[in-house]
């Protein structure tokens, strides 16, 4: 919601090229290109093949989580519990399959069972969130906030705050090989895109996000749609956890703790509305690309993690400002 | 639902936090004789002061249907600045003033973003949360800083025989309560929260009200930072993390709506803050696994929010669509 | 005598579209000016200029002899112009006194002077005839009482000009009378009012002067005596309107098959012992005051609200469960408020129209939609509801006029080919031209064998449209009239509380 403190001003002349860029769906992609072009000369290695692969490796899991967030935001909710879901599923998966004390230590089934357990747990967490939001009529912000506190606490308690390492290679290969991680992320994105743009579920999702009461009167199974969105978010967070855990080769109870800003930031930078109804996979992809690129470049520049934190915070503010500016200029 | 059950259930739900509070107190009291000692209760109040003060600022923001996620970072930056200053030899009052200044500056920044530039409160303060935390880490170079004893002395100082932190918190709460219930500013905040457009049409200067709210929240966060410092005596790199969530939880536990226009600081937020603190305090007394604290706190907050939403729903359900009174029987 | 308010060649455009073109007229002191025009004629824009929500691109306004250029709603208030908005602008959680003096509480130092606040509030409430304690929360007031409160608010700063925007749409008859009396009293005090309404009879009865807007231009102005409803309508639409209501069909297609049967329906405090039968091809009206249980009845029938006793059957099959079950049995509900539960305002015309029947175009395994099928269905139904061709399928419905929005809601339900339609206030807030088209559509539906239940506050609409009429009063059916026995005063008697 844009606060127009001074009332609407007369239509301003916006140069047509800028206006076209601002209006475009690809605005964030243009910004990515600008960022890359602007930083590449000063940033050693930004344009190298190695870094390119590294960039994609960073992008894949973040994209997967952000896809789930996109679905939940479209339906008019928010899921703050995704990072804790990543941590908890990581820990649980590792406890199932690690080669020392794991439940299935040494079994050839360890890795597949662990992955299924992780996804199942993610889906279950999502279902819990969805049920609390729909059947108990609790605000999504508070539900997923308490879920975040609880699940993260649970992951830490479960492991007494220790990492669980020594995972089977059959598992770690999933996250550490871009050749595997990328197709997983890409197919998730493709599937979510198909659901959103072409399926009954996608239309229902948007309708509920725009106006749940209208949707209910029109015969849309509102509760089921909302629950499905949260389940999808939990599942995708768990899938991202598989990638992250594999990449790290260890189950960590604080895995993903730092990426909540990235997840929500990337989704919103892409253009998905926090008020529901509006959002697309392509937008989220651009948002994720933008943040990943920024993170990567700042790292290559040798900046400390707190500087990166400040810059990212600033960039998110700038993106939000840009979004308001475009709404004001173009809609006034 | 028959009328008798309504009559019984509604008051119970209306005072959900109070009921939960009583249950928690009785529970811990039964589990440990140490819980209900005067020393522990006083300690509890001292510990809850900081959350209460930050929660008061948060309540103002929530009343306008906004949110301030940056309070934890404000606490951290303020503490880091104060630490730097005192370690460089500045006297305590200068350090305290610096803390307050940091709160006001970040609050003003939030206000600028949300009110003048029209960024969503959630996103704007999420941005300042990260900028603030990054800035604080840079100031401290991610190392813990031990502060001179003058800070700890603040925490144990007494005013008329009472410990300073709860007294300070009480003053803040009292001022906030009077502001919300007895001043034009306070009443207008409720209107802004209920409908921003409506408030504007009613002739209110909505922008100015919102600016005041974010600046107040920054101020309260800084004040809460002082109170925390006075207890801990040190600034760690995680100082203030997740305090935005405790503050929101305290306000929501106290009956303040996340959607604006409903709630208050007294008894609401104060009760919420004490409830959260007593859970932690009780668990410490019981020697529970420290890793369990967040689990129990989260469960309690969840329960309180559940009770609150059930109450609003039942109230709405019973209140509406009753177009004539049934004949008395 | 010099006019109180003058519009001098005021113009305003949005995105290059001129919505006001050189509008000029005066409001004299102590006059009631009726402002009429179809939706989209520019009335709201004009009032937004006056209220300081928008600024004119051309021309100027003068108020009390001085140039008037408000930049903010506050400026309008300071100048002495008060608004009673169609969507009432009150805060239900605050009390009456706080709502009245929200922007200028009497204070001492930083604190509110409560006794003075309550004293002044009580005096104002007295003046508008609201005998309630100033500490009553506004949430407890009826719509009519809220309207009076808004007027009291305008009086709180001694407004010389008060704008009433569609004040009677949701008022009961006694509330309406009370409002009219108050308007006359304010005029007698020397204040001026601008009265905006679609109910032309009211405008002519109440106003001293009339201004007619069409397409952003003043197409007629003069004293009320110079106008009659027929002339007003033809000025508003720019053509002679042949006949608002279609010729009565005398139930040509009604074959008497019971379609919707309601037996002994009751819910404590809402409706009691409701029984009626809606037949194939019949248009059945439900009349009653605000709060008589009309909307509540429709919501119960559609499964949105619970009921304690009674049964509902459609074509012999019992109706139970949530709306989606009832839709499957052939029931449709056009709700009272398009904004709240009729449309997804930000979504496109296409998405809104398709919402109910999406499932028919979905194919497993992923329930993917057939885009071609959707497009075909949309094209067919657009023609059926006569949605203007210039409106694109992808246009968000919030950019449509009220009439077109209502057509979108109807189109959505037509695609479901319902056997029974429940229409709650189908023409609320829409202009005369669109009204006639919607009436025509209702008749076409009935001719094709649907049963239509129409709920409306406008008796004229019901008597023009329906074959039969039920009157609801405090949740009970207190009268039934067939078309040949329609008698406005008898219907009104049945509707009024005894």
Confidence of residue B5 (pLDDT cuts 50, 70, 90): low
How many angstroms separate the CA atoms of A65 and A81, rounded?
11
Confidence of residue A126 (pLDDT cuts 50, 70, 90): very high
Residue range B33-313 forms a domain whose CATH class is: mainly alpha
Which 201-240 residues of chain A touch chain C by CB within 8 A? 201, 203-204, 206-207, 210-211, 213-221
Q: Which residues of C touch B199 (CB under 8 A)?
A: 91, 102
The answer to whether A146 contacts B309, with C-beta atoms less than 8 Å apart, is no
The answer to whether A215 contacts C355, with C-beta atoms less than 8 Å apart, is yes
Confidence of residue B270 (pLDDT cuts 50, 70, 90): very high
Nearest alpha carbon to residue C245 among C436, C490, C494: C436
Query: Which tokens sit at C43?
Result: 């009335």
Q: How much is the mean pLDDT over chain C?
A: 88
Q: Kindly tell me if the per-residue pLDDT of B114 is higher than 90.
A: yes
User: In chain C, where does the domain assigned CATH 3.40.50.300 lie?
Assistant: 5-237, 242-330+418-498
Quick one: pLDDT at residue B7?
65
Quick one: pLDDT at residue C169?
64
Query: Which tokens sit at B42?
Result: 């006083």
The answer to whether C369 contacts A216, with C-beta atoms less than 8 Å apart, is no
Q: How many domains does chain A have?
A: 1
Q: Kindly tell me if the per-residue pLDDT of A91 is higher than 70.
A: yes
Top-confidence range, B54-63, B116-125, C256-265: B54-63
Asked if the C-beta of A254 comes within 8 angstroms of chain B's C-beta atoms, the answer is no
Quick one: pLDDT at residue A28?
85
Quick one: pLDDT at residue B182?
94
Pairing, β C362-363 against β C368-369: antiparallel
How many angstroms separate the CA atoms of B125 and B104, rounded?
14
Confidence of residue A6 (pLDDT cuts 50, 70, 90): very low
Q: Kindly tell me if the per-residue pLDDT of C108 is higher than 60.
A: yes
Confidence of residue C15 (pLDDT cuts 50, 70, 90): low
Quick one: pLDDT at residue C166?
79
In this predicted model, what pLDDT tens digit does every residue of C35-79 receive, in sequence order? 988 766 888 889 999 998 889 999 999 999 999 999 988 899 899
- Mean per-residue pLDDT for B47-64? 95
- Mean per-residue pLDDT for B227-237? 89
Share of chain B above pLDDT 90, in %: 40
Sole residue written with tokens 């992320």: A185
Contact A42, B153 (CB under 8 A): no
Share of chain A above pLDDT 70, in %: 92
The answer to whether B294 contacts A141, with C-beta atoms less than 8 Å apart, is no
Partners for B (CB, 8 Å, 3+ pairs)? A, C
- Mean per-residue pLDDT for C286-305? 89
Q: Kindly tell me if the per-residue pLDDT of B316 is higher than 80.
A: no
CB nearest A316 (choices: B127, B196, B207): B127
Nearest alpha carbon to residue B48 among B322, B279, B319, B208: B279
- Mean per-residue pLDDT for A288-292? 93
Q: Kindly tell me if the per-residue pLDDT of C496 is higher than 80.
A: no
Residue of B nearest to C111 (CA): B183
How many angstroms separate the CA atoms of A211 and A214, rounded?
5
Confidence of residue C140 (pLDDT cuts 50, 70, 90): confident
Mutate which of B72, B142, B279, B294 to test chain A, going by most A C-beta atoms within 10 A?
A: B294
CB nearest C359 (choices: A10, A200, A216): A200
Quick one: pLDDT at residue A136?
93
CA distances, A89 to each of A116, A185, A218, A228, B200 (Å): 10, 18, 38, 19, 48
Q: Which residues of A touch C366 (CB under 8 A)?
A: 194-195, 199, 201
- Out of A170-179, B210-219, B266-275, C420-429, pick the least confident: A170-179
Contact C7, C53 (CB under 8 A): no
The answer to whether B299 contacts A150, with C-beta atoms less than 8 Å apart, is yes
Quick one: pLDDT at residue C151?
87
Confidence of residue B190 (pLDDT cuts 50, 70, 90): very high
Quick one: pLDDT at residue C16?
66
Smallest CA–CA distance, residue C218 to chain B, in Å, is 27
Q: Kindly tell me if the per-residue pLDDT of A15 is higher than 70.
A: no
Residue of C nearest to A219 (CA): C324
Here the ipTM equals 0.85
Q: Kindly tell me if the per-residue pLDDT of C250 is higher than 70.
A: no
Q: Kindly tell me if the per-residue pLDDT of C226 is higher than 80.
A: yes
Query: Which tokens sit at A331?
Result: 């809609």
- Out of A56-70, A284-298, B26-40, C240-254, pick the least confident: C240-254
Quick one: pLDDT at residue A3?
37
The answer to whether A317 contacts B135, with C-beta atoms less than 8 Å apart, is no
Query: Residue C420 class from Cβ within 10 Å (0-12 exposed, 13-18 middle, 19+ buried)?
Result: buried
Contact A210, A136 (CB under 8 A): no
Q: Kindly tell me if the per-residue pLDDT of A328 is higher than 60.
A: yes
Query: Which tokens sit at C36?
Result: 């009429």
Name beta bridge partners: C279: C258
* SS3 of chain B: helix, strand, coil, percent, to 5: 75, 0, 20
Quick one: pLDDT at residue A10?
40
- Is the pLDDT higher at B277 or at A125? A125
Q: Kindly tell me if the per-residue pLDDT of C294 is higher than 50.
A: yes
DSSP string, A45-98: TTTSHHHHHHHHHHHHHHHHHHHHHHHHHHTT---TTHHHHHHHHHHHHHHHH-
Smallest CA–CA distance, residue B262 to chain C, in Å, is 8
Quick one: pLDDT at residue C497?
64
Quick one: pLDDT at residue A9?
40
Q: Which residues of A touch C356 (CB under 8 A)?
A: 218-219
- Is the pLDDT higher at B138 or at C144? B138
Share of chain B above pLDDT 70, in %: 93
Quick one: pLDDT at residue B1?
47
- Mean per-residue pLDDT for C360-389? 90
Number of other residues whose CB lies within 10 A of the CB of residue A176: 16
- Mean per-residue pLDDT for A152-180? 90
- Out of A226-230, B237-241, C112-116, pick the least confident: B237-241
Asked if the C-beta of B259 comes within 8 angstroms of chain A's C-beta atoms, the answer is yes
Q: How much is the mean pLDDT over chain A?
A: 88
- Mean per-residue pLDDT for B31-41? 87
Which residues span the domain enclosing A263? 24-331
Say if A17 falls within a structural domain: no
Asked if the C-beta of C424 comes within 8 angstroms of chain A's C-beta atoms, the answer is no
CA distances, A293 to each of A215, A314, B178, C154 (Å): 39, 15, 50, 56
Residue range C5-237 forms a domain whose CATH class is: alpha beta
Residues of C with CB under 8 A from a CB of B: 51, 53, 73-74, 76-77, 83, 85, 89-94, 98, 102-105, 107, 110-112, 114, 153, 268-270, 291-293, 296, 305, 474-475
User: Between C173-188 and C143-156, two packed helices, what is the crossing angle to 10 degrees?
Assistant: 10
Smallest CA–CA distance, residue B199 to chain A, in Å, is 12
CB nearest C367 (choices: A201, A218, A220): A201
Asked if the C-beta of A2 comes within 8 angstroms of chain B's C-beta atoms, the answer is yes
Half-sphere exposure of C447 (CA within 13 A, CB side): 12
Quick one: pLDDT at residue A8?
39
Name beta bridge partners: C452: C283, C421
Mutate which of B203, B264, B326 to test chain C, going by most C C-beta atoms within 10 A?
A: B203
CATH number at residue A93: 1.10.3470
The answer to whether B190 contacts C111, with C-beta atoms less than 8 Å apart, is no
- Mean per-residue pLDDT for C380-391? 88
Dihedrals φ, ψ of B196, to 5°?
A: -65, -45
Smallest CA–CA distance, residue C111 to chain B, in Å, is 5
- Mean per-residue pLDDT for A310-330? 78
Q: Where are the domains of chain B?
A: 33-313
Q: Kindly tell me if the per-residue pLDDT of B328 is higher than 60.
A: no
Query: Residue B315 class from Cβ within 10 Å (0-12 exposed, 13-18 middle, 19+ buried)?
Result: middle
Residue of B nearest to C108 (CA): B183
Quick one: pLDDT at residue A5?
37
Quick one: pLDDT at residue C402?
82
Fold of C242-330+418-498: Rossmann fold (3.40.50)
In this predicted model, what pLDDT tens digit does every residue of C70-83 receive, in sequence order? 998 889 989 999 98
For chain C, state the CA radius of gyration.
24
Half-sphere exposure of A116 (CA within 13 A, CB side): 5
Which 219-258 residues of chain B touch chain A by CB within 8 A? 242, 245, 248-249, 252, 258
- Is the pLDDT higher at A323 or at A247? A247
Confidence of residue A120 (pLDDT cuts 50, 70, 90): very high
């Amino acid at each position: 919601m844009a606060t127009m403190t001074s009332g609407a001003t007369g239509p301003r002349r916006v140069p047509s090229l800028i206006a076209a860029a601002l209006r475009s769906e690809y605005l964030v992609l243009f910004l990515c290109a600008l960022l890359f072009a602007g930083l590449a000369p000063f940033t050693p290695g930004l344009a190298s093949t190695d870094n390119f692969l590294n960039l994609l490796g960073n992008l894949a899991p973040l994209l997967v989580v952000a896809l789930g967030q996109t679905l939940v935001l479209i339906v008019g909710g928010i899921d703050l519990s995704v990072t804790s879901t990543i941590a908890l599923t990581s820990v649980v998966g590792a406890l199932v399959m690690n080669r020392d004390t794991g439940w299935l230590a040494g079994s050839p089934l360890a890795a597949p069972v662990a992955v299924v357990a992780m996804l199942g747990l993610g889906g279950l967490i999502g279902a819990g969130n969805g049920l609390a939001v729909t059947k108990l009529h609790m605000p999504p912000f508070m539900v997923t906030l308490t879920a975040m506190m609880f699940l993260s606490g649970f992951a830490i308690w479960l492991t007494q705050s220790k990492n669980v390492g020594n995972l089977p290679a059959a598992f770690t290969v999933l996250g550490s090989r871009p050749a595997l991680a990328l197709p997983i992320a890409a197919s998730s994105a493709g599937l979510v895109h198909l659901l959103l743009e072409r399926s009954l579920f996608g239309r229902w999702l948007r309708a509920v996000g725009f106006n749940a009461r209208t949707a209910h009167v029109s015969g849309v199974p509102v509760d089921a749609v909302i629950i499905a969105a949260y389940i999808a978010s939990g599942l995708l967070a768990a899938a991202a956890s598989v990638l992250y855990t594999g990449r790290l080769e260890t189950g960590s109870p604080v895995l993903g703790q730092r990426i909540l800003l990235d997840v929500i930031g990337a989704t919103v930078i892409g253009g998905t509305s926090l008020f529901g109804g509006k959002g697309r996979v392509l937008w989220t992809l651009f948002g994720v690309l933008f943040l990943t690129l920024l993170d990567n470049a700042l790292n290559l520049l040798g900046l400390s993690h707190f500087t990166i934190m400040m810059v990212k915070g600033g960039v998110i503010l700038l993106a939000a400002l840009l979004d308001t500016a475009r709404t004001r200029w173009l809609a006034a | 639902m028959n009328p008798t059950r309504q009559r019984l259930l509604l008051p119970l739900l209306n005072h959900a936090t109070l009921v939960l509070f009583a249950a928690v107190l009785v529970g811990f009291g039964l589990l440990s004789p140490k819980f209900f000692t005067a020393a522990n209760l006083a300690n509890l109040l001292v510990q809850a002061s900081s959350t209460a003060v930050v929660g008061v600022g948060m309540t103002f923001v929530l009343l306008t249907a906004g949110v301030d996620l940056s309070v934890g970072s404000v606490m951290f930056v303020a503490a880091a600045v104060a630490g730097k200053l005192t370690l460089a030899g500045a006297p305590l009052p200068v350090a305290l003033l610096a803390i307050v200044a940091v709160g006001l500056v970040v609050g003003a920044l939030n206000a600028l973003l949300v009110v003048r530039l029209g960024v969503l409160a959630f996103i704007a303060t999420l941005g300042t949360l990260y900028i603030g935390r990054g800035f604080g880490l840079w100031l401290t170079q991610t190392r813990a800083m031990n502060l001179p004893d003058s800070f700890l002395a603040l925490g144990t100082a007494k005013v008329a025989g009472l410990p300073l932190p709860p007294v300070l918190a009480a003053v803040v709460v009292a001022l906030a309560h009077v502001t919300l219930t007895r001043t034009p500013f306070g009443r207008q905040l409720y209107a802004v929260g209920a409908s921003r457009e409506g408030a504007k049409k009613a002739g209110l200067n909505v922008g100015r009200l919102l600016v005041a709210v974010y600046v107040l929240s920054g101020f309260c966060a800084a004040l809460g930072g002082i109170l925390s410092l006075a207890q801990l005596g040190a600034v760690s790199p995680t100082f203030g993390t997740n305090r935005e969530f405790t503050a929101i939880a305290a306000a929501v536990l106290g009956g303040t709506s996340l959607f604006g226009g409903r709630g208050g600081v007294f008894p609401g937020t104060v009760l919420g803050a004490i409830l959260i603190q007593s859970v932690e305090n009780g668990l410490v007394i019981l020697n529970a696994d420290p890793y369990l604290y967040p689990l129990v706190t989260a469960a309690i907050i969840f329960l309180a929010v559940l009770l609150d939403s059930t109450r609003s729903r039942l109230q709405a359900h019973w209140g509406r669509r009753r177009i004539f009174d049934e004949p008395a029987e | 005598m010099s006019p109180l308010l003058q519009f001098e060649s005021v113009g305003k455009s949005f995105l290059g579209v001129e919505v006001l073109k050189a509008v000029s007229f005066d409001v004299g002191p102590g006059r009631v000016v009726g402002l009429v025009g179809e939706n989209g004629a520019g009335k709201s824009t004009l009032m937004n200029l006056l209220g300081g929500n928008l600024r004119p691109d051309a021309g100027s306004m003068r108020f009390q002899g001085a140039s008037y250029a408000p930049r903010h709603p506050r400026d309008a208030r300071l100048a002495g112009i008060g608004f009673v908005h169609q969507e009432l602008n009150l805060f239900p959680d605050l009390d009456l006194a706080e709502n009245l003096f929200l922007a200028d509480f009497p204070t001492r130092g930083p604190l509110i002077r409560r006794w003075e606040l309550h004293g002044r509030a009580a005096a104002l409430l007295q003046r508008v005839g609201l005998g309630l304690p100033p500490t009553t929360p506004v949430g407890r007031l009826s719509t009519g009482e809220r309207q009076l409160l808004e007027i009291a608010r305008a009086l709180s700063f001694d407004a010389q000009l008060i704008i009433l925007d569609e004040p009677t749409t949701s008022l009961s008859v006694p509330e309406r009378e009370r409002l009219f009396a108050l308007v006359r009293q304010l005029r007698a005090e020397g204040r001026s009012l601008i009265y905006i309404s679609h109910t032309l009879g009211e405008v002519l009865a109440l106003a001293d002067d009339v201004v007619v807007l069409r397409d952003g231009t003043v197409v007629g102005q003069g004293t009320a005596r110079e106008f009659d409803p027929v002339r007003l309508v033809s000025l508003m639409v720019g053509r002679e309107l042949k006949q608002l209501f279609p010729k009565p069909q005398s139930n040509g297609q009604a074959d008497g098959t019971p379609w919707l049967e309601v037996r002994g329906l009751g819910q404590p405090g809402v409706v009691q012992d409701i029984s009626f039968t809606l037949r194939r091809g019949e248009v059945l009206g439900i009349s009653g005051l605000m709060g008589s249980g009309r909307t509540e009845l429709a919501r119960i029938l559609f499964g949105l609200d619970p009921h304690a006793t009674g049964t509902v059957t459609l074509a012999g099959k019992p109706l139970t469960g949530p709306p989606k079950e009832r839709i499957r049995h052939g029931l449709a509900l056009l709700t009272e408020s398009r904004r709240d539960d009729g449309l997804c305002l930000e979504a496109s015309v296409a998405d809104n129209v398709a919402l109910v029947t999406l499932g028919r175009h979905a194919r497993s395994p992923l329930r993917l939609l057939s885009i071609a099928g959707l497009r075909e269905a949309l094209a067919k139904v657009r023609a059926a509801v006569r949605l203007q061709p210039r409106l694109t399928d992808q246009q968000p419905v919030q950019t449509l006029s009220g009439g077109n929005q209502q057509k979108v809601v109807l189109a959505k339900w037509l695609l479901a080919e319902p056997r029974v339609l429940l229409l709650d206030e189908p023409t609320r807030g829409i202009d005369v031209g669109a009204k006639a088209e919607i009436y025509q559509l209702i008749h076409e539906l009935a001719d094709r064998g649907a049963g239509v239940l129409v709920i409306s506050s406008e008796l004229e609409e019901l008597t023009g449209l329906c074959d039969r009429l039920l009157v609801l009063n405090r949740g009970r059916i207190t009268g039934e009239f067939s078309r040949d026995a329609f008698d406005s005063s008898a219907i009104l008697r049945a509707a009024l509380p005894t």
